[in-house]
Amino acid sequence: MSAYTARSKYTVFHNTIAAVASVNPLGTMFSIEATLRNLDRHAQDEQAEIARKEKALADYRAQLGRPFEHEERLRELLVKQEDINRSLDLDKSDAQVVDEGRVA
């Protein structure tokens, strides 16, 4: 007699929960019961993950509307880089590091 084992899968959220169906009915029942006991824990884990991702999304949306905090320093450094390029005659070649038309 073979020890045939089949896996029954139930999709819960994005995880796959599996119960083992075997030739032994008692083993099959234990597997199904264990799977059912874990469903609540899996649901709680998924709810916690959803809450974490929703909070991160809200944080990202709040940051989206804010100006870049180092904008002024960036502009100063771009002007300085342009001056250095000009002093090295880099502004007259195709190998220019910063396109002068892009510096605001």
pLDDT tens digits along 62-76? 999 888 899 999 999
Distance, CA of 6 to CA of 9 (rounded, Å):
10
**Residue 30 pLDDT level (bands cut at 50, 70, 90):** confident
Q: Are 56 and 77 contained in the same domain?
A: no
* pLDDT: which is higher, 34 or 17: 34
Give yes or no: residues 100 and 85 share one domain. Answer: yes
In this structure, the answer to whether residues 10 and 36 fall within a common structural domain is yes
* 15 and 50 together in one domain: yes
Same-domain status, 56 and 28: yes
Tally of structural domains, the chain = 2
Do 45 and 4 share a domain, yes or no?
yes
pLDDT for 32 equals 85
Helix (H) / strand (E) containing 22 = strand 15-22
57 is in which domain, residue-wise? 1-66
**Neighbouring residues of 13: CB distance < 8 A, sequence distance ≥ 6:** 42, 43, 46
- 49 vs 2: CA distance, rounded Å: 42
Structure tokens at 95: 């190998």
37 and 4 belong to one structural domain = yes
